Amino acid sequence: MKKYVIYDNIEYFMPFFYCNDIFIPILDELLKEEINPIKYVYGTPLCAWAGGRKNLIQIKNLNQIDYYLKSLKTQNLTPTFTFNNINKIEEQLNDEFSNNLLDIAYQNDAHFIVASDVLYNHIKSRYPNAKMHCSIINPICKKIDDKNFDETKFYNEMLDKYEVVVMRPEYTIENIDKLDKLISDISRVEILINQYCQYNCQYHKKHYILLNEYNVSQQKINQDSVQKLTKGITNLDKFVMENCPKRNNAKYRDVTITNEQVKQLVNIGIKKIKLQGRDHNFDELFNELYQYFFNTEITQEEIRNKIDLICAKIIQNNKKYSILIAMDKKL
């Protein structure tokens, strides 16, 4: 019998934390007779420190968040908070909800992805043993700001500071034949393989800043339960439409790492692979999983039919499993 997953000797970082988390029990059931290589799930409820993606989910109930984190731990998953805000972060350090979220996260052995030295220092001042990941936003912004940016030196310095360092796909592709010689500890480098953007996009930093502004503005809305927030056309949406019209068109995804390149990376010692997709719906994320996670010797239709049966059973038996189950998921 063929295995469902391509690689079981690496650790996958998946966008299943407060987004598309219905995939957690689905894949647990599908892979019950083989090794499940998913070790980390990343994302965050809306807060002043959130970044990286537009966040439409606001959860104010800290007890609910605590329960959610504990449920992930029982499934041997490490929740990883995307505290990626880079815009005026000094003004947000004392945000009460973000700090409360940090406290609960640390108590539940969560990890933290950050793009700001200021926020890194703030978290470490409260919790010196906190597990920190250097966000991909960090080298992206440094490269845009500094034409002489020494990226190899940067990654090696960050490996002395962080538990995990996320590498830009462009750097990965350009140095794929020598990464194991350039990087001091390749086993702690995380590779994003399905980036949705153009090569060395000049608008990346501005995009992240507008995302931060949007998330902070939405965080100020007083809501006590999980619900969809405002989705009107914002400055962020206008910016993407005007400057990044090809962003979600697969034809132009020249920064995507191919399956052959992933195989090459695994062969030289890469242990951590990341799929993006926090803003994907169920079908979009399944297509990404089929390309990069599943063994494509098994047909996409066969895997999808199996998943649909598992999904229907989960929903029938436990309609409240997923906090997001009713939000834009094509089940």
Rounded-to-integer distance, Cα 20 and Cα 17, Å:
7
* Cα–Cα distance for residue pair 268/178, rounded to 1 Å: 9
Q: How many domains does the chain have?
A: 1
Range of the domain at 37: 11-317
User: Is residue 230 situated within a structural domain?
Assistant: yes
3-state SS of the chain is CCCCECCCCCEEEECCCCCCCCHHHHHHHHCCCCCCCEEEEEECCCCCCCCCCCCCECCCCHHHHHHHHHHHHHCCCEEEEEECCCCCHHHHCCCHHHHHHHHHHHHCCCEEEECCHHHHHHHHHHCCCCEEEECCHHHHHHHHHCCCCCHHHHHHHHHCCCCEEEECHHHHHHCCCCHHHHCCCHHHEEEECCCCCCCCCCCHHHHHHHHHHHHHHHHCCCCCCCCECCCCCCHHHHHHHHHCCCCCCHHHCCCCCCHHHHHHHHHCCCCEEECCCCCCCHHHHHHHHHHHCECCCCCHHHHHHHHHHHHHHHHHHCCCCCCCCCCCCCC
What CA–CA distance (Å, rounded) separates 107 from 70? Answer: 10
The residue assigned the tokens 């966008």 is 15
Q: Is residue 1 part of a domain?
A: no
Among residues 138, 55, 59, 64, the alpha carbon closest in space to that of 97 is found at 59
Whether 2 is in a domain gets the answer: no
pLDDT for 217 equals: 65
**pLDDT for position 87:** 77
**Cα gap 103→65, rounded to integer Å:** 11
Tokens representing residue 268 in the block = 């030289």
pLDDT for 215 equals 66
Is 283 part of any domain? yes
CATH of the domain at 235: 3.20.20
Residue 71 lies in a domain: yes
Q: How far is CA 177 from the centre of its chain?
A: 26
How far apart (Å, rounded) are the C-alpha atoms in residues 304 and 309?
9
Structural contact between residues 277 and 288, judged by C-beta atoms closer than 8 angstroms: yes
Is residue 326, in this structure, part of any structural domain at all? no
CA distance 186 to 179: 8
The confidence score (pLDDT) of residue 156 equals 98
Q: Does residue 311 form part of some domain? A: yes
d(C-alpha 132, C-alpha 110), whole Å: 9
Residue 6 lies in a domain: no
pLDDT at 311: 86
Q: What is the pLDDT of residue 231?
A: 47
Q: Which portions of the chain are predicted below pLDDT 70?
A: 52-58, 204-209, 211-254, 316-331
Cβ-Cβ contacts under 8 Å for 214 (sequence gap 6 or more): 54, 234, 235, 236
